């Protein structure tokens, strides 16, 4: 099949043009152009064929000139606080996959949650590189984003900004946190602690999940004890481990803990197991995010599972609409979540009792 | 301080030029240009000042024109197989940090280890976007890379390609795997299994770590039993869990397991704990990578810790040299590693005995 391509002498190769690629791939020049420009509406099979022809002919589009002319790079940015927080890494993989279906390449930008870097991202100082932005800000406020002058299409992910100036895809944090806490109360636990409170102004997630926790305590008729609300500097395992140690050192330690993310919960679990505390016998533990680690932890971790695939897919979809020129008012899309109950609250399933039939014919 | 800036009327703002930014930041035009162009040799403090001035004045460099003129974007790409493998996520964070010290932005590209996508990355089809490439290929061979026609500077990470056509930063895999396996043998284990063998042609890591494992068995005078070498389709937790289950189902299960990465080991641990096997009492487990999960697992995971920070720093350093025009022969840089012994092979430290002095004065 490769032999059907244009019969080019080596010295002609530097002059390969779009038409040669189209001939080899057996598609129209317009289709090759669509692939090169990263436009949607090219099937994966066609795209693969065109890319194979591009490689075979060593075709190199004059991209800088094209960018100036058409203002498209086929690249979108995903800006997240930290790539080695598994929640964001999983989300990044899903965004890359959803974007790929539209022939878009994803540039992943790690902001560190730093205000200055987030401002740079929002202000599009690298706007020449990207056609659109999916942004999960930590430090910026809705006012910051409303004051944005860059007009690169943008979709917000996560709970930081509400009623902001841009499309926004988010999980229902208050409801989800309430469900997780109610689950602990329904196990009969009476001293339900929370790990993950933060009081700096950018702590949107923390505030919403704390509100859900408090609503659940009230609904369950449990007293709110601020001593059981553990603040943390960040949402890493080490923060959860330290916060759990402080709770255990209290005169009246909790009998259950709702952690505002799974990393905090995994850190808390480690402290509990080190101190010889039985989970869930003495203390039941629930997290939030449903990262893979929690499914393999011992005990496995009860958690709130946001529909991350839908989160990624909807974000890319809304962004693609804006990039195609649609300009509806800012939309707020909620994706579903569910509580996944595992061993850290439900306990280990009893090991199957020895099968009496196998115990020998004489019994 | 902000009041000392140029006194611009709003309608003049669209004409802000480099000179205005320099005046407000109190630096030379050349320095502003260096920041805008992402060049090295700008201190973080100066860079922050210039960026603040850029934001305040809403200066927007004419980047597309600049790129055509100077051929620099200030962006490097990091192409890795999977972002939600914690090893690559941690590496990405470290590369972002090392690049930031040189005022370089990192574009993270997830290839999925797919040959066609890796070929696109190597062939620089998006070369207009980036000044350099740090690449951890899975599917491409050294021949593929030698045939590369794109001249974007490139540094390879990881063990896939050896004696290849580009700078290469790598850990000593054979030695590291041998050390981990010898550690298990020195605990007195006699049936040391390996999880992570792969026999497709691109399985560089697997081949090298298997070689180290076999060298260690020979050095320890242990027989090589191919039945104890468990192949896996991929290096995720689920693969490790399944492989461990198969090993346990053998008539003669192992008394130790060296897993070729930590995710495999964490999956294996989960299977062992589900089956009620004591770790390390019955089976000792070691991994490779030293990801954070292993430090919080129960038991904590013994592992080979490559110096990931140096891996990232050296890769960025070599790339920056090439981007600055240096053209030495391809270099192969080895970064250090160490074996970190934790509970999965050494057992839990005995809990401190009750302090006799605290037991009461009467005793």
Mean pLDDT of A113-119: 78
C-alpha B35 chain-centroid distance: 27
* B39 vs B83, more confident: B83
* Residue A201: per-residue pLDDT: 58
Mutation target among B97, B298, B342, B344 for the A interface, most CBs of A within 10 A: B298
Highest mean pLDDT among A48-57, A127-136, A312-321: A312-321
Mean pLDDT of B291-307: 96
Dist CA A51 CA B123 (whole Å): 11
Are B130 and B75 contacting, i.e. CB atoms less than 8 angstroms apart?
yes
Residues 286-305 of A with CB under 8 A from B: 292-293, 295-298
Cα separations (Å) of B53 from A128, A143, A151, B22, B65? 20, 20, 20, 8, 22
Convert the pLDDT of each residue in A324-353 to its tens digit.
Answer: 888 888 888 999 999 999 999 999 876 554
**Partner B contacted by A109 (CB < 8 A):** yes
* Residue B72: per-residue pLDDT: 66
| DSSP for residue A38 | T
Residue B149 clears pLDDT 80, i.e. is over it: no
Q: Please report the domains of chain A, with CATH numbers, ordered by start residue.
A: 2-70 (1.10.260.40), 75-170+309-335 (3.40.50.2300), 173-306+340-346 (3.40.50.2300)
Structure tokens at B256: 């130790």
* Residue A236: per-residue pLDDT: 94
Cα separations (Å) of B116 from A74, A97, A317, B123, B195? 18, 15, 25, 10, 28
Share of chain A above pLDDT 70, in %: 81
Edge-first strand order for the sheet with A229-231 is A229-231, A192-197, A256-259, A284-288, A302-306, A337-340
* Residue B64: per-residue pLDDT: 43
With CB atoms and an 8 Å threshold, state whether B120 touches A51: yes
Are A267 and A293 contacting, i.e. CB atoms less than 8 angstroms apart?
no
Chain A residue numbers with beta carbons less than 8 Å from the beta carbon of B139 are none
* Residue A312: per-residue pLDDT: 95
**Partner B contacted by A92 (CB < 8 A):** yes
> How does the average pLDDT of chain B come out, rounded?
83
With CB atoms and an 8 Å threshold, state whether B129 touches A82: no
* Residue B353: per-residue pLDDT: 46
Exposed/middle/buried for residue B33 (C-beta within 10 Å: 0-12, 13-18, 19+): middle
* Residue A214: per-residue pLDDT: 97
Residue B185 clears pLDDT 70, i.e. is over it: yes
With CB atoms and an 8 Å threshold, state whether A92 touches B106: no
Rg (CA), chain B: 26
Q: Which residue of B lies nearest to A292 if distances are taken between CA atoms?
A: B237
Q: In the beta sheet, which residues pair with residue A335?
A: A171
The beta-carbon neighbor of B58 closest among A149, A237, A295 is A149
Convert the pLDDT of each residue in A37-87 to its tens digit.
Answer: 655 567 778 888 887 887 777 666 554 444 444 456 778 889 998 888 899
> How does the average pLDDT of chain A come out, rounded?
83
Chain B residue numbers with beta carbons less than 8 Å from the beta carbon of A350 are none
* Residue B120: per-residue pLDDT: 75
ipTM: 0.72
Convert the pLDDT of each residue in B212-253 to its tens digit.
Answer: 999 999 999 999 999 999 999 989 999 999 999 999 999 999
* Residue A64: per-residue pLDDT: 42
Dist CA A217 CA A230 (whole Å): 16
* Residue A360: per-residue pLDDT: 38
Q: In the beta sheet, which residues pair with residue A87?
A: none
Mean pLDDT of B194-216: 88
Are A33 and A71 contacting, i.e. CB atoms less than 8 angstroms apart?
no
* Residue A2: per-residue pLDDT: 39
* Residue B303: per-residue pLDDT: 98
* Residue A41: per-residue pLDDT: 66
Q: B251-255, B298-302, B309-313, B350-354: which has the minimum mean pLDDT?
A: B350-354
* Residue A305: per-residue pLDDT: 97
The beta-carbon neighbor of A116 closest among B48, B107, B109 is B48
The beta-carbon neighbor of B93 closest among A58, A84, A125 is A84
* Residue A124: per-residue pLDDT: 67
* Residue A351: per-residue pLDDT: 55
Q: A183-187, B7-11, B12-16, B176-180: which has the minimum mean pLDDT?
A: B7-11
Structure tokens at B12: 């003049």
Residue A212 clears pLDDT 90, i.e. is over it: yes
Q: Are strands A229-231 and B105-110 parallel, antiparallel or unpaired?
A: unpaired
Residue whose pair of structure tokens reads 């030695």 in the numeric block: B175
Convert the pLDDT of each residue in A237-273 to its tens digit.
Answer: 999 999 999 999 999 999 999 999 999 999 999 999 9
């Amino acid at each position: 099949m490769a032999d059907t391509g244009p019969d080019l002498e080596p010295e002609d190769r530097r002059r390969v043009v779009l038409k040669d690629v189209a001939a080899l791939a057996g598609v129209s020049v317009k289709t090759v152009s669509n692939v090169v420009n990263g436009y949607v509406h090219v099937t994966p099979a066609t795209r693969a064929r065109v890319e194979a022809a591009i490689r075979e002919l060593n075709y190199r589009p004059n991209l800088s000139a094209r960018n100036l002319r058409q203002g498209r790079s086929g690249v979108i940015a995903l800006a997240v606080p930290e790539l080695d927080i598994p929640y964001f890494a999983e989300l990044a993989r899903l965004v890359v996959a959803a974007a790929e279906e539209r022939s878009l390449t994803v540039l992943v930008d790690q902001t560190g949650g730093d205000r200055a870097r987030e401002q740079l991202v929002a202000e599009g100082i690298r706007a020449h590189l990207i056609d659109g932005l999916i942004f999960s800000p930590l430090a910026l406020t809705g006012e910051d984003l409303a004051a944005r002058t860059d007009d690169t299409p943008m979709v917000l992910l996560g709970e930081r900004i509400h009623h902001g100036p841009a499309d926004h895809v988010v999980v229902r944090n208050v409801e989800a946190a309430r469900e997780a806490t109610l689950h602990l109360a329904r196990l009969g636990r009476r001293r339900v602690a929370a790990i993950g409170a933060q009081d700096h102004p950018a702590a949107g997630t923390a505030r919403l999940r704390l509100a859900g926790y408090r609503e659940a305590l009230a609904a369950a008729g449990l007293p709110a004890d601020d001593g059981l609300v553990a603040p943390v500097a960040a949402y890493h395992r080490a923060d959860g481990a330290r916060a759990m140690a402080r709770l255990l050192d209290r005169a009246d330690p909790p009998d259950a803990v709702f952690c505002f993310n799974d990393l905090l919960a995994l850190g808390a679990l480690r402290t509990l197991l080190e101190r010889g505390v039985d989970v869930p016998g003495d203390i039941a533990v629930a997290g939030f995010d449903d990262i893979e680690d929690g499914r393999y932890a011992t005990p496995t971790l009860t958690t709130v599972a946001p529909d991350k695939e839908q989160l990624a897919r909807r974000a890319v979809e809304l962004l693609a609409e804006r990039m195609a020129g649609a300009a509806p008012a800012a939309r707020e899309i909620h994706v579903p979540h569910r509580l996944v109950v595992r061993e850290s609250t439900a306990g280990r399933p009893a090991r199957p009792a020895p099968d009496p039939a196998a115990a020998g014919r004489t019994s």
